Amino acid sequence: MEYKKGTTTVGLVCKDGIVLAADKRGSLGHLAMHKKVDKILKVTDFIGITTAGMVGDAQKLYDYLKAELQLYLLEREEDPAVEVASKLLSNILYEGRKSFLPYLSMFLLGGKSEDGGFKVFSLDSGGSSILDKYVCSGSGMELAYGVLDSGYKEGLSVSEGKVLAAKAINSALRRDVFSGDGIDVVVIDNKGYQKIKEGEISKLLGK
């Protein structure tokens, strides 16, 4: 059974968008996978999600969520807000907890909200959906929180958020053996979903 033993993901809200960040190491028990893993996935043009936990569960839930939101767009002829996506995924996870083997995954879901702003939710295998200004998940989350707790402030810009998120993940990469192999950063603003190039991430870290 393919299982991500460790992960570090970050989501934070800025005044002009949100930032999602994650490491790229996949692991099976104490072994690291031989290739890098994408832990931030595009759901719609204005919604993104980070994954942690069992790979199979995360993949199936992502496919399910993406398909349902595509149907929502076709039926209503409008982009679904992040609140809609969060409620739907929360319901799926809650129903799964009643089965013999619940979904063993945790997600950070962020994007454009109903009021035109931007929000980030954390969702766990029990079906909870919690709105946060900034949030982390995974085995390196304590290390990432140390950076965010001291660096996050209300009203920071996306440019500032990218730096903070990259530094938070980098902190986990230094100390958490199950996080590593690079950093991905995604911005979602009024222009939509944008993945930051690897070279720019190095600049964010001052390398």
Check: CB of residue 189 under 8 Å from CB of residue 16: yes
Write the DSSP assignment of 90-109 as a string of letters: HHHHHHHTTSSS---EEEEE
Active site residue 7: yes
Question: Whole-angstrom Cα distance, residue 118 to residue 134?
Answer: 12
Question: Whole-angstrom Cα distance, residue 116 to residue 131?
Answer: 16
- DSSP-assigned letter for residue 197: P
Write the DSSP assignment of 15-53 as a string of letters: TTEEEEEEE---EETTEE-SS----EEEEETTEEEEEEE
Closest CA to 40 of 201, 207, 151, 156: 201
State the catalytic residues.
Answer: 7
